[in-house]
Amino acid sequence: MALDKLCTLNKLTALSLSIGLLAGVATFLAVGPLSGVFFIWAATIAWAAYFLLGANQEALVNTITCGIFGVAMAWLTAVLLTQISPDTALGFPFMAALTVTLAVIVLCLAASCPRLASIPASVLGYSSTFAYLLQTPDKLTQDVLLTVSLSNPLLVISISIVVGTYFGQFSGQLAAKWTKQ
């Protein structure tokens, strides 16, 4: 029996091992050399989206394109939110809700453009951006949003989405190499 026949795995085992191995690498990067620039939670959301969208070249393109579009829409929404006066006549909560409502409608309507047709990936990018902005102190400010820095979610969440999507692709490719034919 050939060595390659002895070293093949079933699909679930191969995918589990490849995802686990690459999750360890991604974690090392997120808490080590890329800490503060690469967020494991945003990357794994994109990684999962890649598989949910079909784990193929189209899924790679759609996850990255729509994910970054969602980041951009959230960034624009955040910039608009920082411009709402706390004592606005209709109240900040109402104006914030109206701003988000309109942004999400635009995000969904953009799906009429074929490159932006994956609404779930766009929403994942949008949500990841607001997770970063609302859970990380002092990020939802014009100073952060309007500067070119690695604190700006337009950059760091986009980087995490791109890297996470490629980790998804790599884990699928690695599993395919280890899978029984």
The yes-or-no verdict on residue 38 having pLDDT over 50 is yes
Which pLDDT score, from 0 to 100, does residue 3 have?
45
Which pTM value belongs to this model?
Answer: 0.91
Rounded to whole angstroms, the Cα distance separating 73 from 2 reads 53
- Residues 28, 147: contact at Cβ < 8 Å? no
- CA separation for the pair 63, 166 (Å, rounded): 10
Q: How far apart are CA 104 and CA 121, in angstroms?
A: 13
Question: Average of pLDDT values for 163-178?
Answer: 96
3-state secondary structure of 147: coil
Tell me, what's the pLDDT at 42? 97
Do 134 and 51 meet the contact criterion of CB atoms below 8 Å apart?
A: no
DSSP conformation letters of 23-89: HHHHHHHHHTTTTTTS-HHHHHHHHHHHHHTTSSHHHHHHHHHHHHHHHHHHHHHHHHHHTS-TT-T
Instruction: In whole angstroms, give the CA distance from residue 128 to residue 71.
Output: 8
CA-closest candidate to residue 114, choices 165, 76, 172, 61: 61
* pLDDT tier for residue 8 given thresholds of 50, 70 and 90: confident
Please tell me whether residue 22 adopts helix, strand or coil conformation.
helix
Mean pLDDT throughout 39-45? Answer: 97
CB half-sphere exposure, 122, CA atoms < 13 A: 21
Whether 54 has a pLDDT exceeding 90, the answer reads: yes
CA distance 43 to 135: 16
Query: What whole-number distance in Å separates Cα of residue 10 and Cα of residue 178?
Result: 8
Percent of the chain with pLDDT over 90: 90
